[in-house]
Every structure is written in C-alpha cells, then in structure tokens.
Amino acid sequence: EAARGSGIRRFLHVSTDEVYGSLDPPLEAGEAFALLPSSPYSATKGGSDLLAQAYFLSYELPVVITRASNNYGPYQFPEKLIPLMITNALGGRRLPVYGDGLQVRDWLYVEDHCHALQAALEKGRDGEIYNIGGNCPLTNLEVVRKVLAATGRPESLIEHVEDRPGHDRRYALSSEKIHRQTGWRPQVSFEEGLARTVRWYRENQGWVERVQSGEYRKFYAQNYDNRAAELRRTASGKLAPEGR
C-alpha cells in the first residue's frame, strides 16, 4: 500500500525457487510452473509472490518478481549450508549433513545475483516473473566435499544427521527468460565463487565468532547436535538383537 501511493518507478519483489517445490529430473521450472511449496517458509514466499502480482493486476503497480536459486558468498549467516560447512571445516569441527546428502540445489554466487536483480529492475517488464539460476546443480554432499577440498580438511569430518522436515529433494530453474530479455548471465563459476567465499571467512574470523555466539549456539544444538544424536540412537536400535 505504501508503494502504491508513492509513485515509484519499479517495485522489485525478491522470491525463491522453493515456491515451485521439489522437481524430478530432468524437469526445470519455468516462470509459468505451478506453485507447489512444501514448507511454511516457501508457502509464505509463494503467497507474497501472488500478492505482489495481484497489486500489478489490480492497481498497475509496476511490479517485477524474481525467483532465485541458492545464494552463497561473503557475509552469509552460518546457518546456511556453505558458510556452516566452511566455518566448521576451518575450526576442525564435524560437518553435519542432513539425511543422505543427495538433495540437489542450484548454486548462485551472491554478486551474480545482485547483477541479475539490477538487470530485472532496469530491463525487466512490469508484471513479469524472472527466474535467476546459477546453472550449477550440485548435491549437498558434493558441496560439502568441495568445501573440504578448498579448506584442506579430510572427508572424515562429514557427519550425517537426521533429515529435517519439509526438506525438498531437488530444485531446478530455467533462467532462459531473463537471459533473453535482459542479457544477464552468471559470470562466477562455483569453483571461483567458493574460493572467494572461503578466503573471506578465513580473513574474517572475528565476524564469525560474533555471529556464532548466543542464540546461534542454541540453533546449532537443536538443528544439528540433537539430530546427530537421534540418528545414532536410531542406528543403534536397528543393530540391537530382537526383544531388546
């Protein structure tokens, strides 16, 4: 409502590929795909997409919606996969991997995402949706192994923990539309982006220590330590003799 009354030139609504839900290979979601969110988070993102689109249809608010794949890069809070794995590896701690680690995500370096947002803002068309992918699908386990290689740590640090609720198996985007209409394409390879990211976390240990204090420790215990313990208990139960 505030934007509608302000006479803005463009309203950029930033969303996520999670709104499409999990896709079986080789499917890639185009912008016209149905929304099938499977978690409360992705459901709220899908709902906000529809609300933004409704303001364009009802009031001609100059809305552009973007849906991006997984971002990574400097300053990312270490609850996310890549910074969590980097900071744990640098500290010589175990790297917790949800389930079997074969969930597939498309990875996009944050700088490339920023350039894509600028392209959508300046060259996109009112009322349109643009998928933004990095064209870099990897399983979580592949990502973890690349982090270990980049930090010089052994794969013995990998620890599988109980999977989390609503953990979609595979996200995949088609970014052909934004390529065609704006000319944007990702420029940073995963190897280069990961090297930059590892270097940043090495050089900013003070920042890492500050954000990993207090409430973060409670979050980590709940989401990783407790799940690892539960997986060990489950495995022990399966190995126990019958009747015990």
pLDDT at 78: 93
Is the pLDDT at 71 greater than 90? The verdict is: yes
What is the 8-class DSSP label of residue 225?
I
Q: How many residues does the chain have?
A: 244
d(CA 137, CA 144): 13
pLDDT band, residue 237 (cuts 50/70/90): low
pLDDT at 220: 82
Q: What distances in angstroms separate CA 191 from CA 68, 107, 140, 194, 196, one per listed residue?
A: 19, 11, 15, 5, 9
Of residues 229 and 110, the one with the higher pLDDT is 110
For range 208-216, the mean pLDDT: 86
pLDDT band, residue 43 (cuts 50/70/90): very high
| Residues catalogued as catalytic | 17-18, 41
Q: What distances in angstroms separate CA 232 from CA 75, 109, 163, 226, 238, one per listed residue?
A: 33, 35, 13, 10, 10
Domains of the chain: 11-228 (3.40.50.720)
pLDDT band, residue 232 (cuts 50/70/90): low
d(CA 31, CA 48): 15
pLDDT band, residue 240 (cuts 50/70/90): very low
In this predicted model, what pLDDT tens digit does every residue of 20-35 receive, in sequence order?
Answer: 999 999 999 999 999 9
pLDDT band, residue 243 (cuts 50/70/90): very low
pLDDT at 165: 87
pLDDT at 236: 59
Read off φ and ψ for residue 171, nearest 5 degrees.
Answer: -110, 145
Residue 16: enclosing H or E segment and its boundaries?
strand 11-16
